[in-house]
A and B are shown apart, each in its own frame.
Chain A
Amino acid sequence: MFQNKDTYTFLLDGKTIPFTEEQTIIQAAMAAGEYIPHLCFNPEFKPHGSCKICTVSANGRQTASCTQQPQAGMVVESNTPQINGERLALLQMLFVEGNHFCPSCEKSGDCQLQATAYEMNMMSSHFDHFFPDRPVDASHPEYLLDFNRCILCSLCVRASSDVDGKDVFSLAGRGIKTRLIVNAESGRLADTNFSGDDKAAHVCPVGVIIKKRVGFAVPIGQRSFDEHPISFTPHPALKDN
């Protein structure tokens, strides 16, 4: 079957999605206004493929839709009970690995982890909680780092190195011991050249990189995902399109 190069399409949950050669499945879906749950993917950055929340079934094979390129006529399934069930389990593992006390988190209501958990109908964290000990770094005059909530998405790492040219953050260790570290001999944010103008200060999808003295200026209940579910909220980078 002949298909014009400019009008390649695939099927996402039965809907026809056009794509270009440069796009991955999630990029084409987002451009078409379709939501595939994701955390470590951000349309402004090169896909990282680590959180696996965006997993879809593409022609019957499960794959991360942020890194997988579509093919013409591909049949992609995303919003199915089985795939959403797997996403739910991944989310629950993220919740128990860290310390997520949403009622006292300044990101609550604007947090992608929480909003995605709402989307996947996460009523409980199901697994036993790790309750790890992860001290907060409040050394910087303008920003604090609450590592308890880090989901290791590497967006701050990518922003700091690719956009800011600074390498303030890095992921260290492997497997369950992976953690976010700050590039200073002391390990403290105050001893880096991090600044509030950095892209890295504004990409964290959860409540780790927090601007001080803002707190609950916008009250709980009036925040972005209180207004609309995340599936109806276009990513800020795509809002103007």
Chain B
Amino acid sequence: MQVPVKPKLKIATTSLAGCFGCHMSFLDIDERLFDLIELAEFDRSPFTDIKHCGPCDIGLIEGGLCNAENVHVLREFRANCKTLVAVGACAINGGLPAQRNHLSIATVLTEIYHTQHGLVGGFIPNDPELPLPLNQVHPIHEVVKIDYFIPGCPPSGEAIWKVLTDLIAGREPDLSHGLMQFD
């Protein structure tokens, strides 16, 4: 009798209002990526270029919410991922993009597209395909339930690896001193 092959876990990843630094840090697990693809395959992710997320075991979200599209993507992930993980400072507290939060969106857009040096004749982009900015940048736990968090800007490859391997092994993720960094 043939032993049934254990299906691989499915992992999806995305970057919302982030800088892709957390994804770069994920790649810092280096050759352990080979171990990972023995156990898991990637669904929607910048690594695969799949555009929509199907049913997944683990979703990794980098970045906070700065526009309407970010909210849609986050909800798609929450609807499809059994376990959703906030990766990095921006997903957890808004991070650098949230430093605009005490300014009005009009002030920010005017400053960037009109006021600054060398912008004579500039205009605020208004293509209907562009997602509308939110008035403030929000951490993702303010909109959907998040199961686990990996702090850091970015979290180290070690920290991401530790949480992933804990989750895959069915352990409660635990970051010890040195892996838990807010900076």
Contacts and interface: CB of A to CB of B under 8 A. Distances in A.
Decide whether A and B are members of one complex: yes
Interface of A: 95, 99-105, 108-109, 114, 117-118, 121, 123-126, 128-129, 131-133, 220-221, 226, 228-229
A131 B136 contact: yes
Interface of B: 86, 89, 92-96, 98-99, 101-102, 136, 138-139, 141-142, 146, 148-151, 153, 175, 177-178, 180-183
A102 B141 contact: no
A103 B88 CA distance: 11
Most buried by B among A104, A109, A117, A228: A104
A103 B183 contact: yes
A102 B101 contact: no
Main secondary structure of the interface of B (DSSP, over half): mixed
B96 A124 contact: no
B95 A128 contact: no
Contacts of A117: 182
A129 B151 CA distance: 16
Given A131-B101, A133-B102, A103 B146 contact: no
Nearest to B99: A101
Contact of A102 (B89, B142, B175, B177): B89
Contacts of B92: 123-125
Contact of A126 (B96, B141, B180, B183): B141
Contacts of B138: 129
Contacts of B181: 221, 226
24 contacts: A99-B99, A101-B89, A101-B95, A101-B99, A102-B89, A102-B183, A104-B96, A104-B99, A108-B182, A109-B183, A114-B183, A117-B182, A123-B92, A123-B175, A124-B86, A124-B93, A124-B151, A125-B92, A129-B98, A129-B138, A129-B139, A132-B102, A133-B102, A228-B177
A99 B146 CA distance: 21
B93 A129 contact: yes
A125 B90 CA distance: 12
B142 A129 contact: yes
A123 B151 contact: yes
B85 to A, nearest CB: 10
B81 to A, nearest CB: 17
Given A108-B183, A229-B177, A123 B149 contact: yes
Contacts of B180: 118, 121, 123
Contacts of B101: 131
Contact of A124 (B141, B177, B178, B183): B141
Nearest to B150: A123
Closest A-B pairs by Cβ, 4 of them: A103-B153, A133-B102, A102-B182, A123-B149
Given A101-B89, A103-B96, A114 B182 contact: yes
B98 A131 contact: yes
Given A102-B89, A125-B139, 7 more contacts: A101-B89, A103-B89, A103-B95, A114-B183, A123-B92, A125-B93, A129-B142
Contacts of A228: 177
B34 to A, nearest CB: 28
A104 B177 CA distance: 21
B172 to A, nearest CB: 11
A118 B178 CA distance: 10
Contact of A220 (B89, B94, B175, B183): B183
